[in-house]
Amino acid sequence: MSTIEIYDAVEICQVQAAKPEALERVRALNPGIRLAVTWRCGALTPLLGAADSVYVDARAVGGAEVEAIRSAGLGCYVGKADEPALVDRLVGWRVDGIVTGRPGLVRARIDRSERFA
């Protein structure tokens, strides 16, 4: 039994790894844990089936990459984003999650975006 299971956190956790093989091992242990693979560049096809989501560096991702990730049926998580202009772009692209050291900034930008949607 893993720490995630001990604390009954399977539904709120996501395990991230750079290697799809590591995620396959986690999935074999518990198919209910959501998985994210770190994507640097290249084809998304090899990642399909290995993960539920993709994690990409906020400075390396653009709208086209977010769209490609979504078109592949994967969630899109980005990090690390602490600058207001970068956060605004990510919120505008409607990524699934943003890793940040400034959660208040991100929350304010999401709230502002929802008011003007």
For residue range 27-48, list pLDDT tens digits in order: 999 999 999 998 877 767 766 7
**Residue whose tokens read 């991100």:** 106
Residue type, 17: A
> How many whole angstroms separate alpha carbon 31 and alpha carbon 63?
31
pLDDT at 117: 57
> How many whole angstroms separate alpha carbon 44 and alpha carbon 54?
9
pLDDT at 116: 66
Q: Tell me the whole-structure pTM to 2 decimals.
A: 0.82
**Mean pLDDT, the chain, whole residue set:** 89
> How many whole angstroms separate alpha carbon 108 and alpha carbon 31?
35
pLDDT at 63: 92
Hey, where are the domains in the chain? 3-115
pLDDT in tens, 9-27: 999 999 999 888 899 999 9
pLDDT at 80: 93
pLDDT in tens, 58-90: 988 899 989 989 998 999 999 899 999 999 999
- pLDDT greater than 70 at residue 91: yes
Tell me what the mean pLDDT of segment 83-104 comes to: 94
Superfamily of 3-115 according to CATH: Phosphatidylinositol (PI) phosphodiesterase (3.20.20.190)
